[in-house]
Structure 1
Amino acid sequence: MANIANHNIHVVFLPYLTSSHLIPLVDAALLFASRDGVKVSIVTTPCNAAMFQSSVDKSTNSGHQIAIYSVEFPSAQVNLPEGIESMSTATSIEQYLKVWKAIELIQKPMENLIRSLSPDCIFSDMFYPWTVDLALELNIPRLMFFASSFFYQCIRHNIKLRTDNLVKPGTETFSVPDLPHCIEMKKTQLPEYYMTRTQFGEYIKVIDKSQTQSYGTVHDTFFELEPAYVDLYKNTICQKSWHIGPLFHFSRRNEVQISGENISSNQDCLNWLDTQVLPPAHFVLAFLTARFA
């Protein structure tokens, strides 16, 4: 305990290489770095690092201990043009699959880099299931990050357990069992790997197994949005789960912070709404679209 008390807790963050996963996980890294006694390292590739370098610079200028470490992206090995280093920048299915292959190739360099950093904890995206084995090797906890809601995870879990019984021949819709609310879905809304064995479906099984070996899960959501599903998830799927969102709000709030005063306060937003002429429901829908798009 004395050793822990005398040094900062060092957490290594691994964002997946697509913007919908990378942005919230980097926001989580910035949130951790803003806490006293926490040192943060983000491991990624050069082009992806460039996307959030300015945010990290602002954090370090504020006195936070946060740094970016890059591993070379194997563009030549997978025959990709320079600069395409994420799913988000791929312009065709062929490029998408090449990025996927490249992500597999950088696993070993990432592992070696993480070992050299000697972290106290690994905070990694769900799509890096191999990090749980590395964490076990290093005898440190691995936190598994989900950019999605507890609602989604509960539905996915319950369908996975009962796919054969839920989806019957000749049936167009079915009800997802054991949920706080009645949720109906169509067979056409299910991913292919629920209905037949696919390579991606086998990968999802590896991800699910890594969750059972992880210390816990972290989600970019908040309790007030989905209290029943937070409770359901913790009681039936993963007891050690934390909601730390909305991370978008944290990162944007800090971007407009000057001399400790937040320019864009909640009251500013309410005052702006009062000046508009459309019914309030329109604005609720607008903000929901912006938040969940």
Structure 2
Amino acid sequence: MADSSSSSSIDKGGAFPHVLRIYFIPFPSPGHIIPMVDIAKLFAERGADATVVLTPLNVTRFSGTVTRAAAAGNRIYLYVLPFPSTAGLPDGCESTDALPSRSLSGPFARALDLLRDSFDSVIRDHRPDAIVSDVFLPWTSAAAAELGVPRYAFTGTGCFALSVERSLQVNRPQGWASSDSDPRLVPGLPDRVYLTRSRLAEATLPGSTAHEILDRLREADRSTAAWVVNTFPELEPGYLEHYERVTGKRVFAVGPVSLCNRAAADASERGRGAAAAGEAARILTWLDSKQAGSVIYVCFGSLSRFPAAQMKEIGMGLEESRVPFLWVFGETAATAEETAELDEWMEGMEGRVGERGMVVRGWAPQLAALGHEAVGGFMTHCGWGAVAEAAAAGVPALTWPLFADQFYNEALVVGVVGTGVAVGAAEGFVWGEEEKAGVVVGKARIAARVAWLMGRAASGGSGREEAEGIRRRAREMGEMARRAVAPGGSSYLAVGRMMEDIGPRNGQSAAAGSRDGDLGN
């Protein structure tokens, strides 16, 4: 670990007093760390001194992109915070995707709480001008308040889902229809949004064990200076302003942050580091052999698991669709016997589809894949990072939400902005109990929706026009995303305005931290 005055980008947290110094601390999960590192890069590009606080395992995943950003002349660093040992948590479990079982969620949460003392020391010793903390680390609020350092909260999701969640907190689901399939209006939103009980986040439902942590988050939010959101106005029309009104706090919409990864290495290694370069090259070479817009990319995120029977239905649906596909085959919620049977079936399926399909086990360079001209559709779980990345790439979505805020994000993509179509999942899975769900969507439905979205369906007329309309709106969304992050765009200006907001809170001139002098006035 080197001092910040050296050329190394891994740092003990030294200061550059003539610029704004911002510390970023993400929740240790891929869907949170990845965009937070991107946000730190955005602020560093504008002249801020940006330090990302990570544990050792996560440093190995992001040191490459931070080193490249520093080599380009940006003041960006990694502060290595030791991960605490706690009973019941194996070594190396420093991220949610490294947990071998959901049963370890409790020890993992306790370990995160133990990070507070170390983090307090970092902030006390280095006195940054602000911290940007994940909302799921509520103890950062107390540390910041005690030391008079403003805390900006990174939400991890979009303003639409946040608005839905807030409405549900006020209008408790106990009063909703007892039937899981009876749609009910979510009150108080700019649009008429209907959800069924089966589509509500697990934490919202009566009897959830998450109410205690939700209360801690709400308490921490009271001292939050403002929200930092990976979004842009066109992706969530009206919801940035709505969330500002209902919370009384500003929203700095700085996304889609994935577009800051302009270097090929940053896009292909994002979230995994240089160790993934070989696999990324293999996948991109396969995509190079496909026609423009012909491939559907299928990925359900780092935390999703399907029962073996549902995985087989996905494979059969992709095979029967006749559409070229890139399928990121994740973990299964299955017994050893079920897994062995599925693996044997998968080998046969891969042999039958040949070069038309590619099955990738574990991880794929999602940002690079979505940006490849061969990819014309994205079957996704609707995690917010995936939604924002699809929007940035101008790729239409085939939505298949599983849990948490994902059904809310589907309602935005399908019902509000019209850049996707639902695969037809009427209910999700309980994380950690996926094996109980069985088959939610059958192969025939999967094949039909894939072919329809990709323009391969036999039907014509209005159906063909509707699919083309979705693809066109997705392309338009991608153009709006690129304009948002370009100089003078809404997200570019939001970064400058947040720097302006930080400066006076610490009695400093924000203009000193602007590389180009444009802070968005």
TM-score bucket of the superposed structures, by smaller chain: 0.7 to 0.9
Compare 239-248 and 156-165 and name the one that shifted more. 156-165
1:270-289 counterparts in 2 under 5 A? 276=292, 286=377, 289=380
234-243 vs 16-25, which moves further: 234-243
Aligned equivalent of 1:26: 37
Moved over 6 A (4+): 282-285
Can you list the C-alpha shifts for 1:230-289, whole angstroms capped at 9, x where unaligned?
Answer: 221122224411110001111x224569xxxxxxxxxxxxxx9xx7476xxx99971585
The CA distance in 2 between the partners of 1:145 and 1:287, in whole Å, is 26
Q: How does 1:236-255 map to 2 (within 5 A)?
A: 236-250=246-260, 252-255=261-264
TM-score, normalization by structure 1: 0.82
1:209 to 2:219 alignment: yes
- Classify 1:182/1:88 alpha carbon distance in 2 versus 1 (closer, same or farther; 3 Å): same
Question: Is it true that 1:234 corresponds to 2:244 in the alignment?
Answer: yes
Aligned to 1:41: 51
Partner residue, 1:138: 147
Q: Give the counterpart letter for 1:217 in structure 2.
A: W
Which structure's CA Rg is the greater one?
Answer: 2
> What is the distance in 2 between the residues matched to 1:10 and 1:88?
30
| CA distance in structure 2 between the partners assigned to 1:124 and 1:89 by the alignment | 21
Establish whether residue 16 from structure 1 lines up as the match of residue 27 from structure 2: yes
Q: How does 1:20-169 map to 2 (within 5 A)?
A: 20-36=31-47, 38-75=48-85, 77-163=86-172, 166-169=175-178
Provide the identity percentage: 28
AA aligned opposite 2:220: S
Judging changes above 3 Å, is the alpha-carbon distance between structure 1 residues 21 and 277 closer, same or farther for their aligned structure 2 residues?
A: closer
Q: Quote the Cα distance in structure 2 between the aligned partners of 1:14 and 1:139.
A: 17
SS class of match (1:91): coil
Displacement after TM superposition at 1:226 (Å): 1.2
What is the distance in 2 between the residues matched to 1:169 and 1:88? 34
- 1:266 matched residue in structure 2: none
Separation in 1 of the partners of 2:99 and 2:51?
26
State the Cα distance separating 1:194 from its structure 2 match.
2.6
Maintained 8 Å contact 1:78/1:102: no
One-letter code aligned to 2:162: Q
Matched-pair contact (CA < 8 Å) for 1:216–1:238: no
Query: Which deviations, in whole Å up to 9, do the C-alpha atoms of 1:192-225 show, x marking residues without a partner?
Result: 4433244421211221222221100010011111
Change (3 A) 1:164 1:74: closer
Distance 1:136 1:175 in 2: 38
TM-score by length of structure 2 reads 0.48
Per-residue deviation, 1:93: 1.6
Q: Tell me the amino acid that sits aligned with residue 179 of structure 1.
A: L
Q: Which runs of 5+ in 1 are unaligned?
A: 258-271
Closer, same or farther in 2 for the Cα pair 1:276/1:93, shift >3 Å? closer
Per-residue Cα deviation, 1:174-197 (whole angstroms, up to 9, x for no partner): 110122222111112223443324
